[in-house]
Chains A and B, each alone.
Chain A
Amino acid sequence: MEIIELTAVQLAQKIRSRELSSKEVVNYYAERIRSLDGEINAFITQSFDIALKQAEEVDKKIAKSEEVAPYAGVPIGIKDLIVTKGLRTTCASKILENFIPPYDGTVARKVKENGLPIMGKLNMDEFAMGSSNENSYFGPVKNPWDLQRVPGGSSGGSAAAVAAGEVPWALGSDTGGSIRQPASFCGIVGLKPTYGLVSRYGLVAFASSLDQIGPMTRNVEDAAALLEIIAGHDPFDATSLDVDLPKFTEEIKKDVKDLKIAVIKELSGEGIDEGILNCFNNTLKKLEDAGVIIEEISLPSTSYALSAYYLIAPAEASSNLARYDGVRYGYRIENAENMLELYMKSRSEGFGDEVKRRIMLGTYALSAGYYEAFYGKALKARRLIRQEYERAFETYDLLVSPTTPTVAFKLGEKVSDPLKMYLSDVCTVSANLAGLPSASVPCGLSEGFPVGFQIIGPALSDHLVLRLSKAVEDATQFELKPLKELKK
């Protein structure tokens, strides 16, 4: 079998049994990145030298029959907003173009401790703000299924790198759909864990009450494995949960028979493309054949989730991004006469259009006279949304819907209309507002492009979300075509 055909978990087994060395695998993927990424543009920074060193260490340990971590030696790509010590971390922004972190984020540390060679830092929408990856200072990422189309965003580089077979797996982050929407557009698996399951220490903040890091992989087993690596309590993140974790790779093997799920009516009808609904409904039938009990539920407040989200997320962003002031790190204009000029000009030259727009939105929503009518109302709506979910989970194990209203759209199609762009997050934002685990799993093609099946579960039911994800994967037998079609 060729290296490209092996999943991350299979690669790990072959590396342990010495059928393959980690170095061979790293070299293979480095070669693939070199030949494909000129067009795809998934990487902002490549770090093959570092990856090779890490790989050699793993190989040495295995040669000496020393203990290694379960998935040691399998290379990975990391979204460029997780800080990596000594390795440039830009958030796809001019303002951090030359930022070299002096420390590792917790997830980056775990990746290293688990012996996963880091191939580089992946492209994204600037500060994770966007749904098409067209907001990157380092240029847009292309969808491996069709280079004229967007990969989705904001974790577009992570999704494209996995779909193109530039890395076996990758890490993304999800504030309003930034893992699931690009996973859907690129035909891969993406999981946004329960809020607090994965540490945010060293994740450059966009909207702190919504952000979560999660796995982006070719299949569900790899997602479960990567979640086992990154999840867990961290004293460096006060919002991190101190709970016992299930063994996700074992949980996905369990049967889904008699699992009771409901289709969210508001997210599975009007406004969703017909081709998507066909794929989604076909998948439901197959799940029913597998013994899943399927009903429908109305969650009226989810129709308001997008409105609440586009007040809460920008409000938090406007506060979080106040730190970019040109003093301690980041871009700074030359020869400023005074502090005000230094702040205003450094920020205006350093931030891109969408980031400015969100800072403006958030500042407006938080400003005197508008706070109660906008931010205050949005927070109450958020409570309502969570209550509706909690009530639904009294009856159902999981809720489902399509991940996106359309398949991957063309580059340039929505750039000039921000509101239209925001509407691509309509199905995904409510899970972030309520802090719930949610996955997107490919379930078929519409017009030749991948369709995502979204699963949302109660807090800390990540194992159940993954279990149903596995059932969707088994039922649909989706083929990730670019893996074979794109040749190095």
Chain B
Amino acid sequence: MSISKDEVRHVAKLARLELSEEEIEKFSNQLSQILEHAARVQELDLENLEPLTHAVDRRNVFRSDEVKECLSREEALSNAPEREGEFFKIPPIV
């Protein structure tokens, strides 16, 4: 199994990571190795098996729709790297 440098570049972009040429080279080798090991799951006979996404088979845990105490605006903003008044500040979008 081999992951090319172009594939690494593509995946990095999907993951919103900026990698140096050195990192791309390194990850291309390491990911190839790891995925080769991981690809062993393909040897198993998995016919008729449903995927198991969660160890506990629970679905739709309901609660009543009531207003309860939650973080204040100030608390929610307390770790913002940059803010303006009551808002998170980001670079211009348009």
Contacts and interface: CB of A to CB of B under 8 A. Distances in A.
Interface of A: 98-100, 102-103, 195-196, 209-210, 235, 238-239, 241, 301, 304, 306-308, 310-311, 318, 322, 325-332, 336-345, 347-348, 351, 356-357, 359-361, 363-365, 367, 373-374, 376-384, 386, 418-419, 422, 432-436, 459
A465 to B, nearest CB: 16
Contacts of A328: 76, 79-80, 88
Given A239-B58, A342-B90, A365-B38, 5 more contacts: A98-B79, A311-B41, A329-B79, A338-B93, A378-B41
* A contact patch SS: helix
A357 B31 contact: yes
A102 B14 contact: no
Given A102-B71, A379-B51, A367 B14 contact: yes
A100 B79 CA distance: 7
Contacts of A100: 78-79
Given A327-B88, A347-B17, A434-B55, A381 B93 contact: no
B18 A339 contact: no
A312 to B, nearest CB: 9
B55 A310 contact: no
Contacts of A341: 91
Contacts of B18: 344-345, 347-348
B17 A339 contact: no
17 contacts: A102-B71, A103-B75, A196-B55, A209-B54, A239-B54, A310-B38, A311-B41, A348-B17, A360-B12, A373-B42, A374-B38, A377-B41, A377-B44, A380-B41, A380-B51, A384-B44, A419-B30
Contacts of B88: 327-328
A377 B46 contact: yes
Given A301-B44, A329-B81, A360 B55 contact: no
A386 B50 contact: no
Contacts of A386: 52, 55
A308 B41 contact: yes
Contacts of B7: 364
Contact of B8 (A98, A195, A209, A360): A360
A235 B66 CA distance: 13
B67 interface: no
B17 A364 contact: no
Contacts of A432: 55
A488 B43 CA distance: 54
A344 B16 contact: yes
Contact of A342 (B49, B50, B51, B91): B91
Nearest to B58: A239
Given A344-B18, A367-B14, A384-B49, A239 B44 contact: no
A351 B17 CA distance: 9
Contacts of A103: 71, 75
Interface in B1-57: 3, 7-8, 11-12, 14-19, 23, 27, 30-31, 33-35, 37-44, 46, 49-56
A304 B30 contact: no
Q: Which of A336, A363, A434 has the most CB of B within 10 A?
A: A363
B12 A329 contact: no
B31 A307 contact: no
B81 A102 contact: no
A209 B55 contact: yes
B81 A209 contact: no
B50 to A, nearest CB: 6
Contacts of B31: 357, 360-361, 364
B82 interface: yes
Nearest to B92: A338
A386 B56 CA distance: 11
A381 B40 CA distance: 10
Nearest to A418: B30
